[in-house]
A and B are shown apart, each in its own frame.
Chain A
């Protein structure tokens, strides 16, 4: 491209504004001292007025964690994390239980406004049933406000922060917590089990179709805090729920740690749809700062004919280590994974899924679209396995990678394991660059190069975007455009 001054200026402008969610919020925070110890865990548990069994559970996980080693198999490279140099608890000080949205600190509301969380908007839209979304906003580690609680209660749906749920529905939480991702699962999940501070809890009782989309907004605000949220969603027999999760974090120099655990349980004929748009701070142009995102997400299709569907749009974080998985335990159960992973700058993504076929006639579908630009590394890592008794297990996997620029990398590492002759597995993967013909076609019609690339990329990921709830699909498309800004030239 000829570098006219105008273009240079434009690109510079984009760089400055590249991370548009990178503002800090001056809100008084209540923090635990740095470091991790039994005392800190007791402190967190006491702060949350948790029952004894919960504290024991945490301490047990902590002891286990001390004996574990940080995994090194992923294709990500980062300096060693000092787990004692982090705050494990940070809560906005003015968090003394807002009863309604009006009682929430206006500063916090302002942040949400900047983020574009449609809290207010939702109230206005309250009359329009179909587009209603109940939001649970998690600010650093603490759930600040959950909207539409009353209305959900009428339908029998429990949607609240997990801290509240531990206090109000201890038996329910105790029955399911850790039943999908046990405290011993992996390094980060075990750490999370010890120190998780908040997250969302959803319980949809038998036969209930959740009347609205549920949504959580995570935001890491305070310096040096690790955010460890824990989400637990249970859909009883025949229930249905669609859950959205969006994440942003302010721009900071240091790396911030995020290690979440999400557990989904679907009983007979239940369906859970879980969508994520992750746009945490990816670090600056030199690769300084950004979020380390080490997440364990797993769904258990425990019942017959149950279905769990993961959709993710990953555009943020310096490092993403994330494999939303499905355990297809029930007969005729189904798992789906739709993913868009966009990496630019110095980002490193190692993400994919696991489909573990245990029951008869189980099926799964994986569509993964990776886009690498800048000097980023983008890896798809996935496992599909059919166990001895998984008669007629079926899987279709397609993972396509798109490379923009010659200094990035795209990698595909699938593990395909069949232990049953009636299993049918199909896997295909392609890697290529943006077609010059397509680009030329757009340029010729006067579409600027950057817009043309965004257009082509959006075409490339369309299959996944279609799986997102409508409100999110629009946002996700814009996000992909923003993430790729500055990748041309």
Chain B
């Protein structure tokens, strides 16, 4: 991929390079942290923002889509809100500033700004590869976040909400989280914004789920209609561990949420459930890669997409099964309701299999609402709008209901219904 490096920088690329020079003196961390940042920004400068020609960004031409970068604004207004599920413990990152106090029992919490200042963060900053634009961007500019660890054998009684509220401007955050052996927890990573003008948030969560841990992680992205959200969630799964990841995208103008997992402990199980609601002129990309590196592991992924208006949706999902990973059972399904002739959806579900004793499959469908279903409801006196909503709701609710916790299910259903009310 050398063809496009020579092309002149776009406005957004220039703005990023300028921002780096301007912020340099004031970004937390020096020494190894600073040199890691320098490496990342020069990588980004050399390759430019990714285009269609970079396979990992085939359907999200970031170079063309990311037109401008909002200026960094330390004084922008933002205020924390009530937690999604009443009674949750809340750790807030408001306007880019993390507050690590009020941590519930069993959790060790420090702000990522501290880790950057002390230099302990230096080792985490490297990008995943040449095509990791989110890692490069985030690592160059990261200022804060939360570093959390849950002790071995401990359990969180209530869900933990990581509430990220963005005002105008930009924030770049990191959340390294370690779940100790046999620990149990439910975490809600919730991205909100109170900006009207289009904020930019990049957020990287690095989860380590140790042997025997049982973790539910719910990622709710509800940024503003003009915002850019570049998210990345990386995880490593230990032996006999259970990890359920729920992703709900219900906001943002330009959204790319990446999930990269490595299953490297035998007997572990991973589940991804995702609901992507897209409307307006937004572009939403969920990109997922999973490596099964050891024998006897299972994974299932169900992705449900609803696309309205002139929105563009993307799902890329890749399951890799290494040569040693015999007896892997991996299944992925991506179902899309395409509800407008001006919308589009592209899916690339990949299987890359190097072991023979496996059961792997994927399915993908793109379809409109079934007219006979609509007719059935209308024949019973339900107005068309309501009937459509009911059918769409049923389509995504199936996924949400798998979260057995009633309060959690109700909260997520509330988000979905609220979104559908304003779009359907």
Contacts and interface: CB of A to CB of B under 8 A. Distances in A.
A421 B309 CA distance: 11
B320 to A, nearest CB: 9
Contact of A431 (B347, B348, B360, B365): B360
A185 to B, nearest CB: 18
B357 A429 contact: no
A415 B346 contact: yes
B339 interface: yes
Interface string A427-457: 1111111000000000000000000000000
A52 interface: no
B362 A416 contact: no
Nearest to B341: A421
A413 interface: yes
Contacts of B356: 403-406, 408, 433
B130 to A, nearest CB: 14
Contacts of B347: 414-417, 427
B59 to A, nearest CB: 8
A432 B360 contact: yes
A417 B55 contact: no
Given A416-B347, A416-B348, A432-B358, A425 B365 contact: yes
A52 B354 CA distance: 52
Nearest to B336: A418
Interface in B309-355: 323, 326, 336, 338-355
A78 interface: no
A420 B340 CA distance: 7
B368 interface: yes
B379 interface: no
Given A406-B323, A425-B367, A429-B351, A412 B362 contact: yes
B357 A433 contact: yes
Contacts of B350: 411-414
B359 A414 contact: no
Contact of B55 (A73, A404, A428): A73
A414 B364 contact: yes
A458 interface: no
Nearest to A406: B356
Contacts of A69: 3
**How large, as a class, is the contact surface on chain A?**
35 or more
A84 to B, nearest CB: 23
A409 B364 contact: no
A406 B351 contact: no
A413 B364 CA distance: 12
A431 B358 contact: yes
A408 B323 CA distance: 9
Contacts of B348: 413-416
Main secondary structure of the interface of B (DSSP, over half): strand
Contacts of B368: 421-424
Given A412-B350, A417-B346, A406 B355 contact: yes
A412 B321 CA distance: 12
Given A404-B356, A413-B350, A417-B346, A429 B361 contact: yes
User: Number of contact residues on B: which range applies?
Assistant: 35 or more
B319 to A, nearest CB: 9
Contacts of A413: 348, 350
13 contacts: A388-B342, A410-B353, A411-B351, A414-B348, A416-B349, A417-B346, A418-B345, A420-B341, A421-B341, A421-B343, A424-B365, A429-B349, A432-B360
B25 interface: no
Interface of A: 69, 73, 388, 401, 403-433
Given A420-B341, A429-B361, A431-B360, A406 B326 contact: yes
B366 interface: yes
Contacts of A410: 351, 353
Q: What 3 pairs across the A-B complex have the smallest Cβ distances?
A: A403-B356, A419-B344, A430-B361
B225 to A, nearest CB: 22
Contacts of B351: 401, 410-412, 429, 431
Contacts of B323: 406-407
B357 A406 contact: yes
A66 to B, nearest CB: 16
B359 A432 contact: yes
Given A418-B344, A421-B339, A426-B364, 7 more contacts: A388-B341, A401-B351, A412-B349, A412-B350, A427-B363, A427-B364, A428-B361
Nearest to B356: A403
A461 B358 CA distance: 19
B361 A423 contact: no
Contacts of B344: 417-419
A218 to B, nearest CB: 32
A87 B365 CA distance: 47
A428 B362 contact: yes
A120 B348 CA distance: 49
A417 B343 CA distance: 11
Contacts of B3: 69
Contacts of A433: 356-358
B365 A426 contact: yes
Contacts of B360: 430-432
A322 B3 CA distance: 25
Interface centre among A415, A421, A426, A427 (most CB of B within 10 A): A421
A155 B363 CA distance: 46
Contacts of A431: 351, 353, 358-361
B364 A425 contact: yes
Nearest to B339: A421
A424 B365 CA distance: 7
Nearest to A423: B366
A35 to B, nearest CB: 27
B159 to A, nearest CB: 35
A164 B361 CA distance: 49
A180 B105 CA distance: 68
Given A421-B338, A432-B358, A433-B357, A409 B363 contact: no
A82 B363 CA distance: 41
Given A414-B364, A423-B366, A426-B365, A409 B352 contact: yes
Nearest to B363: A428
Contacts of B357: 406, 433
A425 B337 CA distance: 11
A404 B347 CA distance: 29
Contacts of B326: 406
B336 A427 contact: no
B363 A429 contact: yes
A363 B233 CA distance: 38
B355 A427 contact: no
By CB atoms of chain B within 10 A, which of A388, A401, A415, A424 has the most?
A415
Interface in B281-318: none
Contacts of B342: 388
A418 B366 contact: yes
Interface in B132-174: none
Contacts of A429: 349, 351, 361-363
Contacts of A420: 338, 341
Contacts of B355: 403, 406
